[in-house]
Amino acid sequence: MESPLDKKIIYGLIGYPLVHSFSHDFFNQKFIAEDINALYINFEIEDLGLLMEVIAEYPNLNGLNVTAPFKEAVIPYLDSLDNDAQEIGAVNVIKFIRDPKSGDLVELRGYNSDVVGFGKTLESILTPQMTKAMVLGTGGAAKAVRAALLKHGVEVQLVSRRKSEQTLVYEEITRAMVANYQLIVNATPLGKYPEDDKCPDFPYRFLTREHLCYDLIYNPEETLFMKNSARYGAKTKNGIEMLLLQAFDSYDIWTREGL
């Protein structure tokens, strides 16, 4: 018996957990409003090995978003990457390239719309004084943020809980360092709903009115990172604008002709 899903183009999101997915509601509302014969499904999979089962189960699946913790781990499952995804080493959009006649899957191609979304938000917030940024985190989101900042000529210092040649640890951050980096970006998942009582172990007391503290998290609207930053006078911004912009870019990737 034919299912109603068989007639719809399917898009979706893979990640774990997917407690509150903006993308699910955003895309399905878009499809209804624009009379697009498509459906967006959350595929909450704890094991990335289940990805191929999802693809096999939905033969009209044409695109996926990828969220934590799979933005880097998904790369070996893909056939190719665009330049940004290749350079960053993280993917948050997968395009399904199918044979136009048979519908058979020909290629899975990875993209990174995070770098586009974050990059566009920078155009309205960067000031001439913001020549350096401190990015908290080293995962897929942090890599996209770093790439976008470098494209805008901003020097980047990564901060992590683990020391490496490229990163500082939080305990090393001094007042002088913070004064030198007027843009602070939280690219960690700390503070994300439902664990919104967490935040990076950043020395917030060193912040001033000259700082902008940008949290990629959008739920809750004001994270603990933002509250702590505002307490010391810093301006704050959450990740909703970036999320919208990367969602627009995701749909453009899925529906445009060619690669």
What value does the mean pLDDT take over residues 123-138? 95
Comparing C-alpha atoms, which of 218, 226, 131 is closest to residue 179?
131
Residues with catalytic roles: 71
Classify residue 161 by burial, with Cβ atoms within 10 Å: 0-12, 13-18, 19+: middle
What is the Cβ-side half-sphere exposure of residue 68, based on CA atoms within 13 angstroms? 17
Could you give the CA distance from residue 68 to residue 65 in angstroms, rounded to a whole number? 10
Instruction: Give me the pLDDT at residue 259, please.
Output: 60
pLDDT of residue 21: 80
Q: Is the peptide bond preceding residue 17 cis, with omega within 30 degrees of 0?
A: yes
pLDDT for 258:
64
pLDDT tens across 28-74, in order?
999 999 999 999 999 999 999 999 999 999 999 999 999 989 999 99
Write out pLDDT tens, residues 4-32: 566 899 999 999 988 778 899 999 999 99
For residue 1, the model assigns a pLDDT of: 43
Cβ-Cβ contacts under 8 Å for 209 (sequence gap 6 or more): 233, 234, 235
Entry pTM? 0.91
179: CB partners within 8 A, 6+ apart = 206, 208
What would the 3-class secondary structure string for 61-82 be? EEEEEECCCCCCCCHHHCCEEC
Set out the domains of the chain in order of their start, with CATH numbers.
4-112 (3.40.50.10860), 115-242 (3.40.50.720)
Residue 2 has pLDDT above 60, yes or no: no
Whether the predicted pLDDT of 86 surpasses 90? yes
Percentage of the residues of the chain whose pLDDT score is greater than 70: 97
Bridge partners of residue 35, in order along the sequence: none
